[in-house]
Every structure is written in structure tokens, then in C-alpha cells.
Structure 1
Amino acid sequence: MNDVTRIPVPGDRPYDVLVGRGLLGALPGLVDGAVRAAVLHAPPLKERAAAVADALSAAGLRPLPIEVPDAEAGKSIDVAARCWDELGAAGFTRTDAVVGIGGGAVTDLAGFVAASWLRGVRWVPVPTSLLGMVDAAVGGKTGVNTAAGKNLVGAFHPPAGVLCDLDVLDTLPADDLVAGLAEVVKCGFIVDPAILGRIEADPAAATDPRGAALRELVERAIRVKARVVGADLRESGLREILNYGHTLAHAIEKREQYGWKHGHAVAVGMIFAGELSRLSGRLDDATAARHRAVLTRLGLPVAYPPEAWPDLLAAMRVDKKARADTLRFVVLDGLAQPGILTGPAEETLAGAYRAVSG
């Protein structure tokens, strides 16, 4: 485990995010005292799950591999219930642990299973996607999807630690790597503009899984999220800024029945949020336009069909950030100056959507 970066996440239950290569040896130490460790993984990650199980076994733990459906198909209450049944059959106690291996969907599921079993056992996300590393695995937000929408059922349950092993990015499909960069770009607009500068200077380096540039971007994005969630675990205030671009993104995902990549939806959502900020008189033209420029250089989508607007508007009304019938959006008052816009006029919303549907 050479050259490991430890990024602390402060709060009532602090933990570290480890970033580096060859990190599996650090896993048993995060669940010290456990006898059993469930290892949740999707079918494509069977080999990675076996390596995790071997690391746990070598430390004297008894691994319990649990295969779950891949991607968003695994984020359901039915899948969670099956996992609980397996924990029960294995006699899992409060000192045992859950490990989630995969992208954001699997780690969200693993965290929710851990949060709800015996009202909370330890868990460790081992993200295998860029999106998982910079977003889902950090912060303790866990959950599943329902017919009513994405992530509407869940719990705040911080992990014992997070292992971001950059080795897995070497074999990640290029499209998935680029999709994950949408969340990195988001961190640039809301907190750390240096992220945007690094991408604009050399977009190709930002997508090289073995390059120093991508590692720097990963660490910067994790530091942004660690700082925010450490100050506001339960999304009562500051943490809302991490949802920049996500109100429309979640509506797109619901309309697409979760067939769109999360990062693709967030990219479109950020174009919308930037334009909504501009049309509300809160953001300058140049910064609003910078959204499209940065995302386009990475090859991320920046458009969605115009006829989808009624469906998207209806879906946004049940978004977690809404209050009663009033829509609320994270917007920008300037670069790295996020704020909240409450109850914008429908013509303003429609005008902002035209920026992504033209």
C-alpha cells in the first residue's frame, strides 16, 4: 500500500477515505472485531469480490459473498430484503460488517442493508467506478429506489472507512469513466474551481486512468465532499449544495427508467441549473456558458428532448429538495458560490430547460 492518500471525513462518526493502489490489505483493519463480513457485489465483479473475500479470510474473518443485480436494478427493497434474509441465516450480529463492492448503486444498497440490519452495523464501500469514488461511497447517504423515485427510501449511515483503489479504473469502460467525471465537474462549480481549470487545460489527461491528473481530480472531489458532509451529515443545510444539477438529473433518470448513466443525467442537469441561475439574475453569462464548454470537452451529453419537459417537471415536484408544492433548486450566485432558489416561476424553469432542449 504505497503512496496512500488519507482524506478525513469529520463529524460525529469520523472516518477516512483511502485513495491509492492495492488497498485491499487495509480492509480488515476497518472492521476490526468482526467475525463475519457480507460481501455484496454484482455478477461482473465476482473476481474482485473473491479478492476481497481472500483479504478478509487472511485476517481471520468469515466472508459471506452475496451476489446482487448489477447497477440500478440492484437498488430495490426486494434485493435489500433478500440480503437481510442471508444475514439472518448466517447469524449476523451487531459486531459484524457489510462490504459493498461496485459502483454507486451497489454501495448505496450495501450501506442501506447495513444501516437497517439490527438498526445499524459497520460497513465499508469499495467503489469500483469513478462515480462511486467521488460521490456515492463518501458521505453516509444510503438508499434504494422505489416506483415513486430515486433514493426516496434510505438512511444516513456513515461507513467505517472507504477504499478507493485506483487499480480498478484501469479496466473501467471509457464511457463510465467520463460519466463519473460529471460529479467531479460539479465539485468544481460549487466549491473548487481548480478542478475546472485542470480539465480545461488538458481534457485527455483527465480521462487517463493511470495519469496523475485523474488522481488529483479524484482527491480534490473527495475533499470537497468530505468537507461538506463532515459539516452536515443529514442534509439539513450545507450538504444540499452537493445536489447541484441533480433535481433535473433525477427526473431524467426516472423518465428513462434508470437506463441513463447517472453522470450523463447530472451533466444535463448542470446545464439546466447554470441557466436557471443566470435567468434568475444570480449568475453571470460567462460562468453559465462555462458549464456547456467544460462538459462538452469531456464528451458528456448536454441536451435532452424538448417534449420531455412536462414529464420532467412533474417528476421534480416529488424531489427530496422540494418543500410541499414548492420547488427548490441549488443554483450559483457566482463560481463556487452555491445557494438555494425557491419557487422559481414556471416560465423561468421552461426558459432554463430550453438551454438543454434546443
Structure 2
Amino acid sequence: MNTVTVRASRQYDILIGRGLLPTLGAEAKKLGKAQKICVVSESSVYPLYGVAAEESLKNAGFSVVSYVFPAGEESKNGQVFLDLLNFLVENRLTRSDMIVALGGGVVGDLAGFAAASYLRGIRFIQVPTTLLAAVDSSVGGKTAIDLPAGKNLAGSFCQPSLVLCDTDTLNSLPLDIFRDGCAEVIKYGVLYDPKLFAHLEEKGLAFDREAVITRCVELKRDVVMEDEFDTGARMKLNLGHTVGHGVEAKSRFAISHGKAVAIGMAIVSRASACVDTPRIVALLEKFGLPTRTDYSADDLFTYTLSDKKRSGGTVNLIIPRAIGDCAIVPTPVESLKSFIQAGL
């Protein structure tokens, strides 16, 4: 097992390794005070791991209730969010109690935002069961729900009290969902780490899971500790996301987050004439990820206007100059459409 410690507004550990889910109760107990825990999960994850999580928590002495919502990005909305808050009220969770987010990025975002909001804030534990959540969304405290105008437009910064990543849960992922997470893994290589990028080029989908997840989490930890509230260096983690969120929104989330980010990375690499564009595109394709879209620059531009990274008349684009070398480039909104067009 590997342990990565985040020292942000709340200090917490990220535990990464095989066979960790049965230790959830014991690890939660170390956090103290809580008597009741609400496990929040979704309909595709709960049947696989819900009982194991509940039993571990009960064996540690917690009273446990569970809230399970329909799987999919479509559930990350205001109505499900309010339903969850009302569920917490009905089950009389107090400010000293906790939430466990058991699932992928949708579960973590929704449960984390509920934890940030309920009683003005209670603690929560992230238990990521997808690669994407393990390397990205479970770490760093970003929580949110989607609005009709776009993705993650209502949310809060709320650091978890613990992240418990049992890499065995990745074995149940369909290959297509595993590939989604690989887009975020590749992103870390492009942003910061040529050695990680080269390891992925060499190993493909057979990369060392525990080592690669740990490396990605270390990289994100460093950025979060430098810029917890996403006003500077942390913006780089949005590589591929501005255009990618446009692809997601235009498809009404028929195109998954990972695939959309892959398309976004390829578009900005081509548009910026990055010297390593051929390697970036080749690696994305090696992992079975798309690098082009049929949507027009007009289509994508319309959705990027609602992007939360927009500031007044500019959007902060993350531009790769080479593998391991990316820059934050404030770009006038009026120039964005032509930039997207250049990368299609």
C-alpha cells in the first residue's frame, strides 16, 4: 500500500493499494467522533461493493444508511442533490457524522457537494472505484453538480477527510470505462512527467496500476497544495477540459468525460502546434481513445462560453508546448472559435 498525504485546508491521507475496501471501517474510525455514516453510491457500483463497504463500517461500530441513485452523469443534477440532502435530514445525520462516496467521479462530486452543504459542512470519505476518480476527481476537494447550461457550474471546494483507493475495484470496470480514466492519466504525463508518458507509451493498457495511480496522485497533491482554490497553477489540470466539456455538453453526455478530454487534448495540441502533438495523439489512440470530433467549431464555441474557467472576456486555455511543458494562456473569447477550428 502507498500513502500520499495532502496538506491543504484540511490534511488527509490517500491510501492506494489492493484489498483496502475491507479496512474502510477501521480507517473511518481513526477520524473520530462520527456515529452514523451515509454511504452514497450509484446503481452500477452499489451492487458490487455496497454490502462490503456497509459491513466494514458496521463492524467498526458505525450506524450505516445508504443512498443509491441511478448511474450516469445525468444524475449529477439539482434534484438528486436536494433528494440526497433531504435523505440526510430524514436519517438524522449530525454535524459530527460522515458521508462515504463510493463510486466514480459522479458519485464523488455529488456526495462531496452534499457534504459541503449539509449543516454548512460535514466530513466525507472518498472511495473511488474508477480509474478516473482514483487519479483525479477524488483528490483535491472539487465538488459540483451540473446545470442545464453546462458541467460543474454549481459546487464548492471541500477537501475529503480520507481517500481510500482499493485498486482491486478497477478489475470490475468495463474496458471502455477504464480507458476513460486513462485519458486523465495521459494528461498528467503531458502536463508534468515525461517519464510517466514514456512508461505509458511502453506498457499501454498493461501499465503498473498502483505505481501509476500513486504518481498521478502525487502530482495532483503537489498542485493542490500550491493552489488549492484553482486561481493559478491548478488551472493546468484543465488541459483538454475546456473543449472537452463542450464536446460532453454538445453530446448531452453521450460522449463520456474521458473521451471528451482526450478529444480536447488532441484539439489543443494540434491548434497550438505542439512539437509533441504526434506522440500525444498516438498515445491517445494506442489507448483506444478518440482524437477527433464531428462537432464544428461553432458548436464547441457555444458551449465553452459557459465554461467556469472563463474570466470576463478571456478563457484560460492550457497549451502544451512539449511533453512535460504546458502553459496557461489567457485567450480572448473572440479568438477561441478560430483556435478550436485550427485543432479540428
Alignment TM-score, normalising by the size of structure 1:
0.91
Structure 1 contact 131–181 (Cα < 8 Å) conserved: yes
Q: Which residue of 2 aligns with 1:321?
A: 309
Structure 1 contact 275–352 (Cα < 8 Å) conserved: no
TM-superposed deviation, 1:43: 1.4
Query: Whole-Å Cα distance in 2 between the matches of residues 314 and 204 of structure 1?
Result: 34
Distance 1:275-1:348 versus aligned 2 partners, 3 A rule = farther
Aligned residues: 340
Indicate the SS of the match to 1:327: strand
Q: Which residue of 1 aligns with 2:80?
A: 79
Query: Whole-Å Cα distance in 2 between the matches of residues 228 and 24 of structure 1?
Result: 27
Is it true that 1:174 corresponds to 2:198 in the alignment? no
- Residues 106-158 of structure 1: CA distance to partner in whole angstroms, max 9, x if unpaired? 11101001000011100011111111101111110001000011001000000
Q: Which amino acid aligns with 2:45?
A: L
Q: For structure 1, which segment, 323-332 or 77-86, has the greater mean C-alpha deviation from structure 2 after superposition?
A: 323-332
Q: Which residue of 2 aligns with 1:210?
A: none
Query: Whole-Å Cα distance in 2 between the matches of residues 74 and 26 of structure 1?
Result: 29
Is it true that 1:43 corresponds to 2:31 in the alignment? no
Q: Which residue of 1 aligns with 2:95?
A: 94
Q: Which residue of 2 aligns with 1:119?
A: 120
TM-superposed deviation, 1:344: 5.2
Is it true that 1:11 corresponds to 2:12 in the alignment? no
Distance 1:63-1:137 versus aligned 2 partners, 3 A rule = same
TM-superposed deviation, 1:50: 1.4
Q: Which residue of 1 aligns with 2:164?
A: 163
Q: Which residue of 1 aligns with 2:34?
A: 34
TM-superposed deviation, 1:202: 2.1
Give percent identity, aligned residues only: 35
TM-superposed deviation, 1:12: 2.6
- Residues 181-213 of structure 1: CA distance to partner in whole angstroms, max 9, x if unpaired? 00000000111121110111121423xxxxxx2
Structure 2 contact 144–153 (Cα < 8 Å) conserved: yes
TM-superposed deviation, 1:226: 1.1
**2:225 is matched with which residue: 204, 219, 230?**
230
Query: Whole-Å Cα distance in 1 between the matches of residues 313 and 333 of structure 2?
Result: 13
Q: What does 1:153-232 align with in structure 2 at a 5 Å threshold?
A: 153-206=154-207, 213-232=208-227
Query: Whole-Å Cα distance in 2 between the matches of residues 165 and 248 of structure 1?
Result: 31
Q: Which residue of 2 aligns with 1:130?
A: 131
**1:248 is matched with which residue: 238, 243, 246?**
243
Structure 2 contact 101–125 (Cα < 8 Å) conserved: yes
Q: What does 1:232-311 align with in structure 2 at a 5 Å threshold?
A: 232-278=227-273, 283=274, 285=275, 287-305=276-294, 307-311=295-299
Indicate the SS of the match to 1:343: strand
Judging by fraction of residues, say which structure has more strand: 2
Indicate the SS of the match to 2:322: coil
Alignment TM-score, normalising by the size of structure 2:
0.94
Which 4+ runs in 1 deviate beyond 6 A?
Answer: none
Structure 1 contact 111–143 (Cα < 8 Å) conserved: yes
Structure 1 contact 317–326 (Cα < 8 Å) conserved: no
Distance 1:345-1:71 versus aligned 2 partners, 3 A rule = closer
Q: Which amino acid aligns with 2:265?
A: M
Query: Whole-Å Cα distance in 2 between the matches of residues 352 and 154 of structure 1?
Result: 27
